[in-house]
Amino acid sequence: MTRVKRGVAASKRRKNLLKDAKGYRWKRKSLYAAAKQAVIKAGHYAYRDRRNKKREMRALWITRLNIASREMGIKYSRLIKILDEKKILLDRKVLSQLAVENPEIFQKFIAEVHPNINSGKNNA
């Protein structure tokens, strides 16, 4: 059987890992063992936070919608219930963008969906 020298593959593997650790601080950017731990931990954080980002964005949309809908005199939960009853399939992201970027159109939309609402500020 022929002899296999493995130095090239090992060097390439280490070099690629150190490339992934570029920009890290102290020995985590230059020492293989520390860099390996740092890259693995960074991968765990990245995986976790890709999911957390979705949660945080949904919470932001809901907060924006609640503020905008309360200015119109209706609570967020009531607004969502009305939209569900009327089978309006706009999601929270779209409604939030509408409320932030085009408040006058959002007011017309709320008035159309819930005609009993006084358009404008709440009296309370």
- Residue 63 within any structural domain of the chain: yes
For every residue of 34-85, DSSP letters joined together read HHHHHHHHHHHHHHHHHHHHHHHHHHHHHHHHHHHHHHTT--HHHHHHHHHH
Q: pLDDT confidence of 119, banded at 50, 70, 90?
A: low
The whole domain housing 108 covers 7-113
Helix, strand, coil percentages (3-state) for the chain, rounded to 5, are: 70, 0, 30
| 31, 69, 92 from 76: Cα distances, Å | 53, 6, 11
Mean pLDDT computed over 111-122: 69
Q: How many domains does the chain have?
A: 1
* Mean pLDDT (whole number) for 46-62: 96
Domain of 100, CATH number, reads 1.10.1900.20
**How confident is the model over 96-107, as pLDDT tens digits?**
999 999 989 999
The answer to whether residue 2 sits within a structural domain is no
Predicted model pTM: 0.72
